[in-house]
Structures are given as structure tokens and as C-alpha cells.
Amino acid sequence: MLDALNGMLERDPTVVVLAAAFLCGALIGAERELRGHAGQLRVCVIVCVAAAGFADLVVSEVERSNWGNGFGAIAQGVGFLGAGLILRDGMTVRGLSSAATLWAVAVIGTAAGARDVVLAAALTLLALLVNVVLRPVSRWISRHQFERDASDPP
């Protein structure tokens, strides 16, 4: 299967990387949508595909020594979008995991656009594991921390 993917990448890399970015962004966005979080399906797909498109342009049109400038621009742009997801309400801050997920989606798209579809797939799997598997662990730690703080002497 990897040989077939490499063959497709050699023939028409843009179509392959955009399709891979679409799929990866859709997987992460669907998880966000199912849980009712900001940074849902369409946002994740658009950010992932746009980052892949920018990275594809950088890889195909810019000298390798200047790729960092293009990739940095992607990170800066998605950082601006992510900042819009973070809300502060008194002592509570919401949206950090959504902003981080959006940043991860941009990295996944950038990896796909840079022709590293295997890295994009691995990063997608890791992002899903973090958002799905670590959520109950995080809740357990929060409950445990609260119980321990309540039992500590003043």
C-alpha cells in the first residue's frame, strides 16, 4: 500500500496530499463535532487542507533553504485562529484544548503538504488518542486533585 501511495505521490502529489489532509482533518473534526467542542468538523478540514495547500506551494515553488519561512507563516496564521478559540471567564479558561487541536490539525496538514503523508497519519492518530483516550484520564486527575486539596489542612 505504501508503494502505491508513493507512486501516486510521484505522479500527482498535490491531489494526494490534499486528499490526505482532507481525510485527517475530517477524522479529528468529527471527534470534536461529536463531543460538541469548538473547532469542529468543517473548521478542522478547512485548516488542514489550507495548511496542506500552503505547504504544497512552499515545497513545490520555494527553495528548500526557505521552507522554514513558509512553514512558519502557517504556524503564525493558525496561532491567530487558535487564539480566537480561547476564552477567559474569571478564573476559568476555556478553549485551550480546542486551540491546541486546531494547531495540531495545521501541523498535520503541513506534513501532508510537505509530502510526508505517513507523518500526517501518525500525527492524526496521536491527536485522536490525546482527545479521546486522555480525556477520561484528565477528568480522573482533576477529581483526584480536588479531593486531595479538600482534605489538605488549611
- Map out the domains of the chain as residue ranges: 2-151
Q: What is the pLDDT of residue 12?
A: 80
Distance set, CA 109 to CA 5, 17, 91, 124, 153 (Å): 17, 8, 34, 10, 49
Percent of the chain with pLDDT over 70: 88
Higher pLDDT, 12 or 127: 127
pLDDT per position as a tens digit, 41-98: 999 999 999 999 999 999 999 898 889 888 988 988 898 888 888 888 788 888 888 8
Is the predicted pLDDT of residue 39 greater than 70, yes or no? no
Report the C-alpha gap between 69 and 126 in whole angstroms.
26
Q: Please, which pLDDT band fits residue 6 given cuts at 50, 70 and 90?
A: low
Q: Please, which pLDDT band fits residue 153 given cuts at 50, 70 and 90?
A: low
Higher pLDDT, 85 or 130: 130
Query: Quick one: average pLDDT of 104-116?
Result: 96
**Among 135, 150, 125, 118, residue whose Cα is nearest residue 5:** 118
Report the C-alpha gap between 20 and 27 in whole angstroms.
11
Is the predicted pLDDT of residue 145 greater than 80, yes or no? no
Report the C-alpha gap between 147 and 130 in whole angstroms.
24
